[in-house]
Amino acid sequence: MEVKALQQMLAQFRQMQESLEQQVKEIRVEASAGGGMVTVKMDGQKRVSELKIDPEVFASKDLEMLQDLVQAAMNDASRRVDEELQSQLKGIAGGLPGLSGLKIPGLF
């Protein structure tokens, strides 16, 4: 492979990385469990930005149910972040031959 072609490919990879990093910063997802009794908002780096718990959950004094609802909402939000990242990566990598099915270990 020519040096110039290799440099162009590296430049494309850098652009793809920068674009992906920017898109990760912009991702916001929301998930809920128990019919909206627990709602979680999460960013593209899987940091929880908001957690809402309906006061009705406390009325039942069922700690195990609350734990299950929080866990379910968190897992759903995490799954949604992964799906959004995969979707965006397909869009970015789609322009580069052979990379449309790319999976980055640890990212998904």
pLDDT tens-digit readout, 86-104:
887 777 666 555 554 555 5
Residue 21 falls inside a structural domain: no
Domain residues for 66? 28-93
Q: pLDDT band for position 79 (50/70/90)? A: very high
Check: CB of residue 44 under 8 Å from CB of residue 84: yes
pLDDT tens-digit readout, 15-44:
878 877 887 788 899 999 999 999 999 998
Rounded to whole angstroms, how far apart are CA atoms 56 and 86?
A: 36
Residue 59: burial class (beta carbons within 10 Å; 0-12, 13-18, 19+): exposed
Helix (H, G, I), strand (E, B), or coil: what is residue 31? strand
Residue 1 falls inside a structural domain: no
CA angle 59/67/105 to nearest 5° reads 150
Instruction: Give the CATH number for residue 62.
Output: 3.30.1310.10
Residue 102 falls inside a structural domain: no
The total number of structural domains that make up the chain:
1
Residue 23 falls inside a structural domain: no
